[in-house]
């Protein structure tokens, strides 16, 4: 099986079960749009796929590899955009993007990534002078610069203007053309042609988890 697969995933945050028995599969080049009301677990699912939360049950596979068994591989394939932009006020956009690109061993991709999000003119601007939309774009440039195949985007369009949303859409299309995978949780309309949709509300737990789930 190629692409990214999640099998019988459930997620528990302290005492609360957020979702249960969730399956998904995305072919390489595919996209999955997460929907569902607030609190239905979209962010939790993205953090779980990223590897920040351990699944309570179930597992993830990428290109046939069980990711829980190979954490180094897991870290190599994921780029995660959370609610926070992780933009440092004391560093310029160029310095931050080059740092993250360097951590993923693609230092030369930083320039193209900034250009893709329309940040070329802001490369020498320190983070503290950026507007919230510009900070979001810097965070997206960081995702692009990593050069990883799986992008997990939590509300990627927050604070973006129409032009930046268009830039994001073409970056997503280019990523999928190269065989990349996109998972996005968003309430705003965003063009992801051919994307499957996953409604988290369907996986709300009914009563208690039974033993079959834990097996």
Partner 1 sequence: MSAMLRLFAHDLKLQLRLGSDLIAPVAFFVLATLLVPLGVGPEPNLLTRLAPGMIWVTALLATLLALDRLFQRDFEDGTLDLLALAPLPLEAIVLAKVAAHWVTTGLPLLIAAPVLGLMLRLDHGSYVTLEVSLLLGTPVLSMVGAFGAAVTLGARRGGALLALLVLPLYVPILIFATSAIGAAGEGLSPRPHLLLLASFFVAGLVLVPFAAAAALRNALE
Question: What is the binding site for partner 1 (CB under 8 A)?
Answer: 50-54, 72, 75-76, 78-80, 82-88, 90-91, 95, 99-100, 102-105, 142
Residue with tokens 């039974």: 210
Residue 24 or 104 having the CB closest to partner 1:
104
Q: Where are the alpha helices (DSSP H) in the chain?
A: 42-50, 71-77, 93-103, 109-116, 132-146, 162-177, 211-214
CB of 138 to partner 1, least distance (A): 12
Residue 74 or 175 having the CB closest to partner 1:
74
CB of 186 to partner 1, least distance (A): 18
Local structure of residue 92 (DSSP, 8 states): B
Q: Nearest Cα to 93, choosing from 61, 128, 69, 57?
A: 128
Query: What are the b/e assignments for 50-77, b being 16+ CB within 10 Å?
Result: bbebebbbbebbbeeeebeeeeeebebb
Residue 90 or 212 having the CB closest to partner 1:
90
CB of 189 to partner 1, least distance (A): 25
CB of 166 to partner 1, least distance (A): 25
Output the six-digit token pair for 204: 């709300």
Residue 6 or 51 having the CB closest to partner 1:
51
């Amino acid at each position: 099986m190629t692409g990214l697969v999640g099998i019988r995933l459930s997620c528990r945050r302290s005492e609360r079960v957020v979702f249960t028995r969730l399956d998904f599969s995305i072919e390489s080049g595919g996209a999955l749009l997460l929907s569902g009301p607030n609190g239905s677990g979209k962010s939790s699912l993205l953090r779980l796929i990223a590897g920040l939360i351990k699944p309570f049950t179930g597992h993830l596979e990428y290109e046939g590899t069980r990711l829980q068994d190979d954490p180094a591989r897991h870290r190599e394939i994921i780029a995660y955009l959370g609610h926070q932009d992780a933009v440092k006020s004391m560093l310029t956009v160029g310095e931050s993007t080059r740092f993250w690109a360097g951590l993923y061993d693609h230092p030369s991709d930083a320039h193209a990534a900034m250009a893709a999000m329309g940040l070329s003119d802001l490369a020498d601007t320190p983070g503290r002078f950026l507007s919230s939309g510009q900070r979001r774009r810097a965070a997206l440039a960081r995702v692009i610069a990593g050069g990883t195949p799986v992008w997990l985007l939590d509300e990627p369009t927050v604070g973006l203007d129409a032009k930046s949303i268009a830039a994001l859409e073409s970056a997503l299309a280019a990523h999928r053309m190269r065989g990349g995978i996109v998972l996005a949780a968003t309430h705003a309309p965003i063009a992801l042609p051919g994307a499957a949709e996953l409604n988290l509300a369907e996986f709300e737990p009914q009563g208690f988890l039974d033993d079959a789930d834990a097996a």
